[in-house]
Amino acid sequence: MNESDLMLWLDNIDKSMGFRPASALGMSCGTVTIDIARAKVLVVWNKRLKLYQLPKGRRNIGENMLAAALRETYEETGLQVTPLRLDIATRATPPRTEKFGKAMRSPDITEGHPSNEFVGVCLYPDPQSETEALKIVFFFAATADCTATRDSGTQEEWEKLDAKWIPFSDVSRILRFQAEIDIVMKTVQDMKRSGYVVGDGFL
């Protein structure tokens, strides 16, 4: 690349690059929790907004994203869920091996490394913030037994949520937001490519 092309390339990057202070970004984490044998998905009924959604909530300072997702799921549903290790196509750097050593550049997309990386994110203007903010929700795959007893008293006083297990076949009809439907579908795809045998209700 000659100097002129390099400058044009850098100028284009500069034009497309944006900045937001931390105060204008809301980071939340949640789970797509699935009872694999029974083909059911864990959702919550938001009494205040009158809609079904996936369990999620804001990350605490110093908390890693997976821990935040598991904590928020427990607080909102009363269920301890277990993260699923999946072969997720990710842009995270792969573990250093003979194939990807110091002399070789890591691939843009990493595959073939089962992990607890996030499955995907939802991005949208935060409708509940008093100041303008972009909300980013990282979703992780998890599993649990839909017949397990839920702990009570796990929600914050202001939360008005009811946990419910729904058949996978009803996800597109019951979940209010298309992006969350897409996250569930992506999680099931990743489960299948990772070798999980799922119930008949999974398409």
Q: Are strands 25-35 and 134-143 parallel, antiparallel or unpaired?
A: parallel
For the residues 142-148, what does the mean pLDDT come to?
96
CA distances from 186 to 121, 128, 133, 181 (A): 11, 27, 26, 9
**Cα–Cα distance between 61 and 108 in angstroms, integer?**
30
**97 phi and psi, to 5 degrees?**
-135, -175
- Tell me which amino acid residue 95 is: P
- Residue 97 is predicted with a pLDDT of 65
Whether 198 and 191 have beta carbons less than 8 Å apart is answered as yes
- Tell me which amino acid residue 65 is: M
Residue 174 lies in a domain: yes
**What are 6's two structure tokens?**
């390099």
For the residues 40-44, what does the mean pLDDT come to?
97
Residue 13 lies in a domain: no
Host domain of residue 53: 24-148+158-193
Number of domains in the chain: 1
CATH number at residue 70: 3.90.79.10
- Is the pLDDT at 123 greater than 90? The verdict is yes
Residue 38: Cβ within 10 Å count: 16
pTM for the full model? 0.90
R_g over Cα of the chain: 19
